[in-house]
Amino acid sequence: MFYREAGDFKTTYADDSQTFPIKFDRYRYWAVLAFAFLVVPFIINDYWLNAVVLPFLIYSVAAIGLNILTGYCGQVSLGSGGFMAVGAYSCYKFMTSFPGMDIFSVILLSGFVTAAVGILFGLPSLRIKGFYLAVATLAAQFFLVWLFNKVPWFYNYSASGQINAPERTVFGYAVTGAETHAWAVYLVALVFVVVLAVVARNLTRGSLGRKWMAIRDMDIAAEIIGVNPMTAKLSAFAISSFYVGVSGAMFFVLYLGAVEVGEAFGIGKSFIILFMVIIGGLGSIFGSFAGAAFMVLMPVLLKNVMVGQLGWATDLAAHFEFVIVGGLIIVFLILEPHGLAQLWRLAKEKLRLWPFPH
């Protein structure tokens, strides 16, 4: 009834090619943004920020990054954890070497550093395909983690081998370090997420995104119709790594504050991000958010139910969590291999015909 194209006349090209062609979607989009910017900062507290909201926002960025590479360009990567580590460590180096720099430029710069590293590890993708490439990206994962562990320059020769985020402020409010306000940290993360998501959405709709999808669907055919596989693949690696690097930097400065590389950015991180992308839906920006929300919320929920309600020991709950996460992934893949984004698409189809389905 209200969710339809009919009656929404487009009179300019700009109107015609806007992100959300349906009026209801546009209103919903602005409503969500308004809620996120104007309501949430006033009600958020430390528990919600650290247990749910902040991990969700940060993982969303990482999932969008991996989705660009895997969902849009078809190159499976298991090195996201390593690239997040690059983001975190370059962020740390920038913060300690240039104390005057503000946090936004530091995080963006770490993204660019990660993009460069991503291009380097993306080079083999020009020769290697499929699972061979997936395994090859593990090289990045293990090598980078080893590098940050073994070369003391990266952690400024600190005795513990950890990196700690120094305090930085935005408009006089501390957003990193020990004394932070929940709402300030939240807003910084939110600004990054919104801007990066909008950019990603438009990149994937534009000519670059079409090139990626052509490569994903069949690289040889894409090459024949004039898509340069080198620029397409390497740009996907660069942009994807940029996103993952930014999320790694945020993960370090905004969320953890102190990082030990093997613990925070191990192979498990790579798999979690891949799960988010698959469960959310390959090739969908909304899916990245949905997958991140699912993977962040489910463990919290399970833990609350099992430890809080049933009163089981935490190690038992942890084992159950593995069983349930693994089982759900399998069930999900069997029932809906295209992920939550596909469910959303189906719901929208239904909504279009509602209340008079034929």
Partner 1 sequence: MSAGFYYGTEVFLNGLMTGVLYSLVALGFVLIFKSSGIFNYAQGVMALFAALTLVGLQDGQVPFAHLINSIFGTQVHHFGWHLPALLAILLTAGVMVVLAILVERYILRHLVNQPDIILFMATIGLAYFMEGFGDLMWGSEIKKLDVGIPQGGNLWIEENTAFLGGDDFYGFYLDSLDIVAAVFAGLLVLSLVLFSQYTKTGRALRAVADDHQAALSVGISLRFIWVVVWSIAGFIALVAGIMWGSKSGVQFSLSLIALKALPVLMLGGFTSIPGAIVGGLIIGVGEKMFEFLIGAPFLGGATENWFAYMLALIFLVFRPQGLFGDKIIERV
**Residues in 57-76 that interact with partner 1 by CB under 8 A:** 70, 76
* Count of beta carbons in the 10 Å neighbourhood of residue 22: 16
Size of the site for partner 1 (CB under 8 A): 50
- By CB under 8 A, name the one of 172, 334, 356, 357 that touches partner 1: 334
Is the distance from CB of 189 to CB of 250 less than 8 angstroms? yes
Mark residues 234-273: x for contact with partner 1 by CB under 8 A, - for none.
---------------------------------x---x--
Is the distance from CB of 177 to CB of 165 less than 8 angstroms? yes
Angle 294-144-64 (CA atoms, 0-180°, nearest 5)? 30
Rounded CA gap, 220 and 334, in Å? 30
Minimal distance in Å, beta carbon 71 to partner 1?
10
Is the distance from CB of 260 to CB of 144 less than 8 angstroms? no
Minimal distance in Å, beta carbon 269 to partner 1?
14
Minimal distance in Å, beta carbon 126 to partner 1?
9
Minimal distance in Å, beta carbon 73 to partner 1?
13
Provide the token pair at 286.
Answer: 């909304």
**Residues in 126-185 that interact with partner 1 by CB under 8 A:** 127-132, 134-136, 138-139, 142-143, 145-146, 149-151
Q: 3-state DSSP helix/strand/coil percent for the chain, to nearest 5? A: 75, 0, 25
Residue with tokens 């530091």: 106
Minimal distance in Å, beta carbon 203 to partner 1?
22
CA 45 to chain centre: 23
Nearest residue (CB) to partner 1, 39 versus 221: 221
Nearest residue (CB) to partner 1, 180 versus 240: 240
Residue 220 binds partner 1 (CB under 8 A): yes
Residue with tokens 């061979």: 132
**Residues in 272-331 that interact with partner 1 by CB under 8 A:** 274-275, 278, 282, 312-313, 315-316, 319-330
Helices 267-280 and 314-335 pack at an angle, to 10 degrees, of: 40
Q: Which residues pair with 174 in a beta bridge?
A: 169
Residue 333 binds partner 1 (CB under 8 A): yes
φ and ψ at 170, to 5 degrees? -125, 120
Residue 218 binds partner 1 (CB under 8 A): yes
Residue 343 binds partner 1 (CB under 8 A): no
Is the distance from CB of 176 to CB of 168 less than 8 angstroms? yes
Minimal distance in Å, beta carbon 353 to partner 1?
29
Minimal distance in Å, beta carbon 32 to partner 1?
29
Whether a cis peptide bond, with omega within 30° of 0, leads into 99 is no
- Residues in contact with partner 1 by CB under 8 A are 70, 76, 124, 127-132, 134-136, 138-139, 142-143, 145-146, 149-151, 218, 220-221, 224, 267, 271, 274-275, 278, 282, 312-313, 315-316, 319-330, 333-334, 337
